[in-house]
Structure 1
Amino acid sequence: MADEKELRYDPAAIEPKWQERWAQNPAMYAAEPASTGKQKYYVLEMLPYPSGQLHMGHVRNYSIGDALARYMWMQGYNVLHPMGWDAFGLPAENAALKNNTPPREWTLKNIAAMKRQMQRIGFSYDWEREVTTCLPDYYRWNQWFFLRMYEKGLAYRKQSKVNWCPQCATVLANEQVIDGCCWRHEDTLVEQRNLEQWFYRITAYAQELLEGLDKLPGWPEKVRTMQRNWIGRSEGTEVDFGVEGEASKIRVFTTRIDTIFGATSLQLAPEHPLVPELTAGDKDLELQISAMIDEQKVARETDNLSNLEKQGVFTGRYATNPFNGERIPIWVANYVLMEYGTGAIMSVPAHDERDFEFATKYGIEIRRVIREVGESEEETPLPFVSEQGILINSGEFDGLICEEGQDKLEKYAEAHGFGEAKITYRLRDWGVSRQRYWGTPIPMVNCPTHGLVPVPDDQFPVLLPDQIEITQEGGSPLSKVPEFLNTTCPVCDGPAKRETDTMDTFVDSSWYFYRYTDAKNSAGPFAPEIAQYWFPIDQYIGGVEHAILHLIYSRFWTRVMRDLGLITNDEPATRLFTQGMVIKDGAKMSKSRGNVVSPDDMVARYGADATRMYALFAAPPDRDLDWQEDGVAGISRFLGRVYRLVQRYAATAKSADAATNNSAPPAGTSLALLRKLHQTIAKITLDFSGRWHFNTCIAAIMELVNEITAAEAALASGEVPVPVVAELLRNLVLLLAPFAPFLAAELWEELGGEGAILRAPWPVSDPGLAKEDEIEIPVQVNGRLRSVVRVSAEADNATIETTALADAKVIEWLAGKKPVKVIIVPRKLVNLVVK
């Protein structure tokens, strides 16, 4: 055995040594498709914004992916595990304004600092494939994709009402407005402005994006539900109501055309294009509607639209119901929004709660056109919104059930030319224009003669100037840079102006994982045959906060690339895992809240292995983790125990090949230790297969170490044969490798393990040894836990009952009473019912 004085665990000495070795080791990198016969496995964590410092929230996310990557390597897969940087964005501009540092310089300096942190913590990233989205070799392909979409009509420009963050001084996509505020500035209300903007036509894929969610069983249901709600598919009918005395018509969308005979008014959004025409000359009416528009604007900015007190004004004009020719008053209502549906609704107060409230307030007629099955018209309560009813007061359609009525009324409208079936979506096209500097330049020019002209591919990349003056005065800073702004038209060589908006940074993160597969390619974004080998991603890992913003955009982008012939897959990732947050002082750990814990401090005190292993041990990976530094210290002490245990018997284990090994089967202490070892292997292997209970994996390793430590006298005396000692220690180190890779590598070398531990085969459990010989059964009395008994794993219910009734604690709790009922959940529970 080694001298105890030499057995001090010193991660500050062990970890840098292995960090340096790994940096030069090609075993850390994925093999190219043509050079391997192995099955591929692509594991990926969402790339970070380079803020300059990792915190423990990052470490937790990356530790999950790294443990999985290391496990899959040991299972013999060709693993791709890359990392890069989501490097464009407003924080760099804000830092430039604050620190007088150019965004490029600030960003690249932060990337270098964070990369050093990742390497010190030992994440097994393939740095040969590193991607930095703010560098021209990446963003030139953003421009290339833009033009391919423009050619297919998927990129277009239009005047539009947009979300404007006054603090960012730029446009936000709908998905970037959270509770009426900017997603980056939680206290800044978003304004509405009309601007000429570029859009990606994500709505062209709305139905496919919706249907694709049913083909993603490996994604959390919460994420799929969020996307379904955001896409917001509605099936219904569009119907034209004529305007009395006018040639114009008002088109409404309804999902309940079966109620159209009960429409007693039409309501228009205050910004409906017909409103000025209908109210012209009535100054009082115009002022009231202007006030409604202002009210809606404030409600949008505070995300309070659903709580608006319903207000309306009668225009004095009438529409005509095309089904019965009835005159219907036209109102303008503050709760009707121009951006949803057609900006006009037919109000059926008897069968819609919102319409009922409005009609009651303003004295508008309420007419039943559906009665409840089995009830008379008078007995049907109001408002009656169920679709399980019978049509009444609906002319020739009386007596139809609602579903049949919807079908017949819709067909009638189509046959008579005043309506048609329609599917609408809540999803809106993706506004990608940003009036900021630090982003991908949009590759278009404005020519006085030829209008909008694309920049030819052979002029890519359109370079972002390095040094410019950045202000927040509104409008793009690039418009104030003559050498960027002024150019020539690719068609006529005449003077032209460049587009000065830059792209939304979510463009960068919508396809970066494809670039990882072929990161050095200068002829295209990636080689299709290489991407086809790696895709789809086998396991994607990141926060649930990206369920809409990033994930829906990346699904859209994947389909666009598929239709361009670059890939064959429909979805970017087969499985998605959303990890819990790290909580400190009652709030999510983040730089903005000032409650971050630097991994550098933890590594300096306890080592990288203890830091990352605590992040995996303190809570299940899908739950929030309440940060406790004492927990890191505890993991460090445990790793010290492992280090000393292995070192004490390393020489013995290394001599196993030379030891005389009789063929006698293990017994006694040896059998008990091997049984525990193989049960631990089986448990951890099962957990890696999809359950990801890494906290219980580590707990199982701790139990194994406890049992080996408790048997040290038998190890030291030779009672446990040398081959058994070797099997115990080598497999212990292999089990530890995904969670504490530095220590595992050090101990693997001490044990004489062959090659890099990263490529060592994962241990295989012996089913005979892993089988439990005894199990613990909780015993309850009237539903309360009173004892725990041990029985054979093969025990039948009668034996379990007998053992439970003979237990001393149970006898004490029964106090001479006989149970009136014994409930046994096989292998799980005994409950004694006593009166």
Structure 2
Amino acid sequence: MKEYTPKEIESKWQAHWDKTRLYETDEDTSKPKYYALEQFPYPSGDGLHMGHMRVYSIGDVVARFRRMNGYRVLHPMGADAFGLPAENAAINRGVNPKEWTLKNMDRFVKEQSLMGVSYDWDRYVGTCLPEYYRFNQWLFLLFYERGLAYRKQASVNWCPTCYTVLANEQVENGKCWRCDSEVTKKELEQWFLRITDYAERLLEGLDRLPRWPEKVKAMQRNWIGKSEGAHVTFAIPELNDEPVTVFTTRPDTLYGVTYMVMAPEHPLVPRLIKGKENEEVITRFIEKMRKETEIERTSTETEKVGYPTGAYARHPLTGEEIPIWVANYVLMDYGTGAVMGVPAHDERDFQFARKYHLPIRTVIQPAEGPLPEPLTEAYTEDGVLLNSASFNGMNNRTAIGAIAGHLAENNQGGPTVNYRLRDWLISRQRYWGTPIPMIYCDRCGTVPVPKEDLPVLLPEDVVFDGKSNPLTTSETFVHTSCPSCGGQARRETDTMDTFFDSSWYYMRYTDAKNKDMPFDPDKVNSWLPVDEYIGGIEHAVLHLLYSRFFTKVLHDAGMVAVDEPFNSLLTQGMVLKEGFKMSKSKGNVVSPLEIVDKYGADTARLFILFAAPPDRDLDWSDTGVEGSYRFLNRVWRLIGQHESLFGRNLTPAPEPDRDARELHRVLHQTIKKVTHEIGERSHFNTAISAIMELVNALYSYPEHADRGTLREALEKLVILLAPFVPHITEELWQIMGGEGSVHAQDWPSFDPEALVLNEVEIAVQINGKVREKLVVSTSASREEVEKQALAQERIQDLVDGKTVRKVIVVPGKLVNIVAK
């Protein structure tokens, strides 16, 4: 047989699979469904990297394995193609982002195809294409109709040079990551989705996802941030008893409140400081806080800084007037923008009170006795109440509910649940995104674009100068007519956050060509939920949380039957080199295409699947790649050595010899192991290891042993390898005379009886030294094993003239003859 030539073989079979449409989605609903999905990529100018190759290789094994096990499989791919990098490229290169993105999308498809991944390309989805973003707009209008999309003023990170909103992560040391300008806070009219309406359902749903990693579920729980406690209403006498509400998880400490702190951005602060001694100082402080990010202000390493406003709030239970401060550590976007200070029982409050000489009042003490006075640290453990009026002597845990109930009875607050989660800000002052389909009319107000007028297309007559939102530069886009009155109106010039695009793309794959709706409910319900979703843990919160939110909204709208989109989640680790993440800055990037060009896609896939379990980081190894290539050559030579077996009608002998029985046992042991490791554990490395052991057994199979058993094992070997290395196995299957594609073969099942050992080889020792090997029946008694051992000709020669004092039999392992 000719030598193994990966380039020739892989290009041949990729063309054949494409021509014969081998991976077209099977719609036979009599079969069980399996939806295998990898997160779609952003089509950058750099092409595929090793992280892409890893996730696509994992997903392809899953899809191929399920097809061979009789499932109808949906395995699609697309491009998450909107976003700021393309717009930056347009500014830097002087080209339209559409041109740059479509070019990169074509490149990604070609590079993914070189890997031999079994995608149904007919279902390809590109989020920047009008046929997709039209339905982004359609869904936005659905949210709007259901009261889940709204517009309000919000404080955002604003770059005055780039004229755009920045995410917290894009602000570095108070400056814009792109132009190094000072970032400010700015109040803008922004569009939001009311995800907070679904906070409790998003939290509860995590308990129904047993096949999600606990780490991911914990991250989402923390992000949602459910807290049970109480709202407490204080009054401000100098503002005609205007109420200020705070949320606390510790109403049992309410009698220990000695001050209140407001966020610098709190709307009441300007009124509280007007004409006061600290007005100028606090005004400068507010401006400074507007330039700092939430991350900087809430860091444990950031010094807590505050100023007294000179105003007071009245305590709802004691009537005491307590000072109101402003401080950097309180944020307007969290809770109510105001917190109560209980320094005796909160470490942060204690440090703040010590720094600014504020009163510290103990209201909880240990059951065994009083705390030292003055306190040297906050007491945060359980105990009994004191200095708490009628609640004195009560256990603090009991007091939580009792005091919250007392507040409710007196209309001063009461028990409540608070969430850290905030509504989703989707407005972006950028061009390369989905235009928000809203129109503003001086006569009619805010008017949605009629669904029949969708899509609202991105205009071409825009200026990319990096100094403003390009959409505002298009006169043809901005100026329009009102759908209600026909008068002059203007379009919304914000585009949607690109997380909107990726929150429902997995639904579009089920009906990718639909021109009337995002998808047909019958088709989406035929495939959802996704059975295995594969991607990086960096998307554990936002993308996955938003996708869950979308699914619940569409479930409520009657469009999908499920309310959780992803049944199982597999988060793969990073690809490292010499212990570091691959990056251009470190100069340690290995291109997947370089490996494919030198060794072939099958070698690259085999290495990346064998080197580590999918959820662990993988350390790149050139020697490991070469080892994978040598193994494939070994398989190739193995089939070549026995090529003559495949031109004859050979079947396993009815009464196989001992070597054939052992190979048969190893084969079925391998089938069982590989099936379990792929189907139940997603441990592809151990599945490949089992196949390597089978190859070793095939190489050591004697020439005189049954040829039919050997042929069967070789055929099953190629089938077991097929999901991992699709090209070489397809070629070998044809060489072996197999019918159809190897990827259309039934997955082999193991025979439990074949796994039962009927015979075992044991060592025969004389005085502790191995002198002979003996094959015995596993059902043989100790006496029978002893008898067979003593009957061996070599053993008889060695004990001749000696007295056998004792024979020790260790079943299944050895016989030790003590002779002197």
Q: TM-score, normalised by structure 1?
A: 0.87
Match of 2:663 in 1: 673
Match of 1:321 in 2: 315
* Cα drift, residue 654 of structure 1: 4.0
Matched, 1:602 2:595: yes
| From 8, 23, 26, the counterpart of 2:21 | 26
Moved more, 105-114 or 507-516: 105-114
- The answer as to whether partners of 1:271 and 1:293 remain within 8 angstroms in 2 is no
Matched, 1:663 2:658: no
Distance 1:181 1:377, change over 3 A: closer
Match of 2:408 in 1: 414
In 2, distance between residues paired with 1:512 and 1:520?
13
Kindly provide the amino acid, as one letter, of the partner of residue 301 in structure 2.
N
Distance 1:166 1:76, change over 3 A: farther
Kindly provide the amino acid, as one letter, of the partner of residue 71 in structure 1.
F
Q: Tell me the alpha carbon deviations over residues 448-479 of structure 1, each in whole angstroms, 9 at most, x when there is no partner.
A: 211211110111111112453212113x2011
Match of 1:703 in 2: 693
| From 548, 566, 573, the counterpart of 1:580 | 573
* Cα drift, residue 571 of structure 1: 0.8
Match of 2:809 in 1: none
- The answer as to whether partners of 2:133 and 2:455 remain within 8 angstroms in 1 is yes
Moved more, 368-377 or 103-112: 368-377
| From 725, 728, 736, the counterpart of 1:743 | 728
Moved more, 573-582 or 630-639: 630-639
Match of 1:556 in 2: 549
In 1, distance between residues paired with 2:181 and 2:718?
52
Match of 1:819 in 2: none
| From 413, 422, 433, the counterpart of 2:427 | 433
* Cα drift, residue 317 of structure 1: 2.8
User: SS of 1:193's equivalent?
Assistant: strand
* Cα drift, residue 293 of structure 1: 4.7
- The answer as to whether partners of 1:296 and 1:305 remain within 8 angstroms in 2 is no
Gaps of 5+ in 1: 1-5, 777-789, 799-826, 828-835
Distance 1:21 1:591, change over 3 A: farther
User: SS of 2:291's equivalent?
Assistant: helix
| From 125, 130, 144, the counterpart of 1:136 | 130
User: SS of 1:500's equivalent?
Assistant: coil
In 1, distance between residues paired with 2:370 and 2:510?
67
Match of 1:15 in 2: 10
Kindly provide the amino acid, as one letter, of the partner of residue 748 in structure 1.
W
Match of 2:486 in 1: 493
Matched, 1:754 2:749: no
Q: Superposed, which structure 2 residues align to 1:519-530 within 5 Å?
A: 519-530=512-523
Matched, 1:516 2:509: yes
Q: TM-score, normalised by structure 2?
A: 0.89
CA-atom RMSD in angstroms: 3.0
Match of 1:801 in 2: none
Match of 2:448 in 1: 454
Match of 2:394 in 1: 400
In 2, distance between residues paired with 1:245 and 1:89?
49
- The answer as to whether partners of 1:241 and 1:249 remain within 8 angstroms in 2 is yes
Distance 1:370 1:91, change over 3 A: same
Q: How many residues align?
A: 772
* Cα drift, residue 794 of structure 1: 8.8
Kindly provide the amino acid, as one letter, of the partner of residue 606 in structure 2.
M
- The answer as to whether partners of 1:269 and 1:338 remain within 8 angstroms in 2 is yes
| From 48, 69, 73, the counterpart of 2:41 | 48
* Cα drift, residue 402 of structure 1: 1.2
Kindly provide the amino acid, as one letter, of the partner of residue 654 in structure 2.
S
* Cα drift, residue 689 of structure 1: 2.4
User: SS of 2:649's equivalent?
Assistant: helix
Kindly provide the amino acid, as one letter, of the partner of residue 685 in structure 2.
N
Distance 1:257 1:550, change over 3 A: same
- The answer as to whether partners of 2:669 and 2:755 remain within 8 angstroms in 1 is yes
In 2, distance between residues paired with 1:324 and 1:303?
32
Q: Tell me the alpha carbon deviations over residues 676-722 of structure 1, each in whole angstroms, 9 at most, x when there is no partner.
A: 211111111110123222112212212211221122xx23xxx2223
* Cα drift, residue 629 of structure 1: 2.6
- The answer as to whether partners of 1:439 and 1:502 remain within 8 angstroms in 2 is yes
Matched, 1:589 2:582: yes
* Cα drift, residue 87 of structure 1: 0.8
Distance 1:379 1:767, change over 3 A: farther
- The answer as to whether partners of 2:161 and 2:179 remain within 8 angstroms in 1 is no
User: SS of 1:298's equivalent?
Assistant: coil
Q: Tell me the alpha carbon deviations over residues 492-527 of structure 1, each in whole angstroms, 9 at most, x when there is no partner.
A: 111111111111111111100000000000110000
* Cα drift, residue 183 of structure 1: 12
User: SS of 2:95's equivalent?
Assistant: coil
Moved more, 301-310 or 375-384: 375-384
Q: Superposed, which structure 2 residues align to 1:468-507 within 5 Å?
A: 468-474=462-468, 476-507=469-500
Match of 1:242 in 2: 235
Moved more, 495-504 or 355-364: 355-364
* Cα drift, residue 344 of structure 1: 1.5
User: SS of 1:306's equivalent?
Assistant: coil
| From 50, 53, 63, the counterpart of 2:57 | 63
Matched, 1:338 2:329: no
In 2, distance between residues paired with 1:416 and 1:375?
32
Gaps of 5+ in 2: 762-773, 783-811, 813-820
Kindly provide the amino acid, as one letter, of the partner of residue 105 in structure 1.
E
Q: Tell me the alpha carbon deviations over residues 610-632 of structure 1, each in whole angstroms, 9 at most, x when there is no partner.
A: 11111111111111111123322
In 2, distance between residues paired with 1:583 and 1:469?
41
| From 26, 29, 33, the counterpart of 1:36 | 29
Matched-pair identity in %: 51
| From 88, 91, 110, the counterpart of 1:94 | 88
Matched, 1:193 2:186: yes
Matched, 1:533 2:523: no
Distance 1:792 1:520, change over 3 A: farther
* Cα drift, residue 180 of structure 1: 7.5
In 1, distance between residues paired with 2:686 and 2:249?
50
Match of 1:810 in 2: none
* Cα drift, residue 67 of structure 1: 0.6
In 2, distance between residues paired with 1:771 and 1:387?
60
* Cα drift, residue 99 of structure 1: 2.2
User: SS of 1:307's equivalent?
Assistant: coil
- The answer as to whether partners of 2:657 and 2:705 remain within 8 angstroms in 1 is no
Kindly provide the amino acid, as one letter, of the partner of residue 436 in structure 1.
R
In 2, distance between residues paired with 1:759 and 1:319?
75
* Cα drift, residue 188 of structure 1: 9.2
In 1, distance between residues paired with 2:425 and 2:22?
43
User: SS of 2:415's equivalent?
Assistant: strand
Q: Superposed, which structure 2 residues align to 1:753-832 within 5 Å?
A: 753-771=738-756
Moved more, 448-457 or 622-631: 622-631
User: SS of 1:157's equivalent?
Assistant: strand
In 2, distance between residues paired with 1:384 and 1:279?
30
Match of 1:364 in 2: 358
In 1, distance between residues paired with 2:82 and 2:403?
53
In 1, distance between residues paired with 2:51 and 2:407?
57
Kindly provide the amino acid, as one letter, of the partner of residue 26 in structure 1.
R
- The answer as to whether partners of 1:285 and 1:313 remain within 8 angstroms in 2 is no
In 1, distance between residues paired with 2:186 and 2:257?
34
User: SS of 1:95's equivalent?
Assistant: helix
Q: Tell me the alpha carbon deviations over residues 718-751 of structure 1, each in whole angstroms, 9 at most, x when there is no partner.
A: x222320221100100111011110111111122
* Cα drift, residue 587 of structure 1: 3.1
Match of 1:781 in 2: none
In 1, distance between residues paired with 2:31 and 2:121?
21
- The answer as to whether partners of 1:265 and 1:346 remain within 8 angstroms in 2 is yes
In 2, distance between residues paired with 1:764 and 1:580?
31
Kindly provide the amino acid, as one letter, of the partner of residue 43 in structure 1.
A
* Cα drift, residue 186 of structure 1: 13
Q: Tell me the alpha carbon deviations over residues 210-235 of structure 1, each in whole angstroms, 9 at most, x when there is no partner.
A: 11111111111111111111111111
Matched, 1:726 2:706: no
- The answer as to whether partners of 2:261 and 2:330 remain within 8 angstroms in 1 is yes
* Cα drift, residue 271 of structure 1: 2.1
Distance 1:466 1:592, change over 3 A: farther
